[in-house]
Amino acid sequence: MAATLITLQPRPEIDPSVDHAIQAIVSGASTDATCTTDLAVGPWDFDTRPGYGPGSSMGDVIPTGSPRQGELPAEYREASDDELDERIRAAKATLGDRVVVLGHFYQREEVVRHADYVGDSFQLANAAKERPEAEAIVFCGVHFMAETADLLSRPDQAVILPNLAAGCSMADMADIDQVEECWEQLEDVLGDLETPDADGLVPVIPVTYMNSSAAIKGFVGRHGGIVCTSSNARTVLEWAFARGRRVLFFPDQHLGRNTAKAMGVPLEQMPMWNPRKPLGGSTAEVIEDSRVILWHGFCSVHRRFTVDQIEKARAEHPGVRVIVHPECPMDVVDAADEAGSTDIIRKAIAAAEEPTTFAIGTEINLVQRLAAQYPQHEIFCLDPVVCPCSTMYRIHPGYLAWVLESLVAGQVVNRITVPADVAEPATVALERMLAAKPNGAVK
């Protein structure tokens, strides 16, 4: 197993499950607040409704044509937590090495406890490669992550997403048609985008965050661009600036802005591209003068964090160490002590030798798990309202039991397959990233 992955421990005494915390809030057993009481019901209640479902992304607009999940059989909807837990364990035991279960850091505890590997999206896609004997990879994350696992796994391995409605509102904010249209408009302003100038630089290099569809990764691969993660964004931007005059960065404006600002790019040379406006809402002059063109996308989980929350944490917990994810807005990253990917946050806590108070700006499931894992520290989420990622929430143990028991019965359900014409250039973009060295925190 890669050193950067967490090896799962036996079920902890204190169950840090957000789902159970939400049950307590809704029943009045806890005085905490949650963003919606709808979180207390099974996610299958939302499978037939349009939208991302309850949680941080519930106000975002879901694109038409997004994958929908068919009805989960009643036996899984009606089973108790304990029954589902037992059925998942039994199915995994029967399948043995034929299956590997991957759990994202932001996934709920009742699911993560069954994962063979826990990590961020890229770590998990690589973890799948470490189990070449597995016929099936069950990815307890969101849609773009399962696509990436399909790109990096063997063609005969089936990648399964337990709930097809588990998309990602940020990834959905960069639609391939909008990106193609943007590219054409940039060509109108900047000329031929494929031809280098006298210095060997092309006018623009497209860079996409890992949190994007395979179609976007394929676009980037076809146009000389590259993928980045929140851990290596700076290294990737350096790679891009060595090859182009400017960067088109999508879908997350905040990761792009925070990273480029830390590299010394002035804010006035980072115009926003709003795909619903001509020239992205900008002017030809601004585009010509730009260094990084930021796509108008964001993560609704990380957008919830504010400078007020940091000031309150500092007032109430003198000496608190504030660490936030670089998908948070710039003013929040600037006000924090440190900013870095989920893996960097996790490592910073693991490395703290003295008992420390940490205020963390990232998804609640990860924060609660870290708090349970490191009881010598006080660890809390900056956001006082319990509001998990809507789409991670869609992966309930009922869906995990269903896909695993289907495999036992010889049926592959919910397989995610990237078409070959997209997979080829998308893999090129991922390989370019692998050749660039990871860099660490953005601040």
Dihedral (CA of 420, 422, 427, 428) sign: positive
Q: Does 122 participate in binding ligand SF4 (rule CB under 6 A)? A: no
Q: Which is nearer to ligand SF4, 142 or 237 (CB)?
A: 142
Q: Which is nearer to ligand SF4, 124 or 287 (CB)?
A: 124
Applying CB under 6 A, which part among 71-79, 88-96, 371-379, 387-395 lies near ligand SF4? 387-395
In angstroms, what is the minimal distance from the CB of 121 to ligand SF4? Answer: 8
- Helix axis angle for 176-190 and 214-222, nearest 10°, is 30
Q: How far apart are the C-alpha atoms of 339 and 360, rounded to whole Å? A: 10
Q: How far apart are the C-alpha atoms of 51 and 66, rounded to whole Å? A: 9
Applying CB under 6 A, which part among 146-154, 281-289, 386-394, 426-434 lies near ligand SF4? 386-394
Query: Would you say 333 and 324 are in contact if contact means Cβ atoms under 8 Å apart?
Result: yes
Q: Does 230 participate in binding ligand SF4 (rule CB under 6 A)? A: no
- Name residue 228's amino acid: C
DSSP state of 25: H
In angstroms, what is the minimal distance from the CB of 258 to ligand SF4? Answer: 15
Smallest Cα–Cα separation from 149: which of 333, 416, 404, 424?
Answer: 416
Q: Does 57 participate in binding ligand SF4 (rule CB under 6 A)? A: yes
CA angle 374, 375, 377 (to 5 degrees): 80
Residues 131-150 touching ligand SF4, rule: CB under 6 A, are 142
Q: Which is nearer to ligand SF4, 53 or 275 (CB)?
A: 53
Q: Which is nearer to ligand SF4, 253 or 300 (CB)?
A: 300
In angstroms, what is the minimal distance from the CB of 275 to ligand SF4? Answer: 18
Q: Does 164 participate in binding ligand SF4 (rule CB under 6 A)? A: no
Q: Which is nearer to ligand SF4, 169 or 427 (CB)?
A: 169
Q: Which helix (H) or strand (E) holds 232?
A: none
Q: How far apart are the C-alpha atoms of 339 and 329, rounded to whole Å? A: 11
Residues 279-308 touching ligand SF4, rule: CB under 6 A, are 299-301
Q: How far apart are the C-alpha atoms of 121 and 105, rounded to whole Å? A: 9
- Residues in contact with ligand SF4 by CB under 6 A are 57, 106, 142, 168-170, 211, 299-301, 363, 389, 391-392
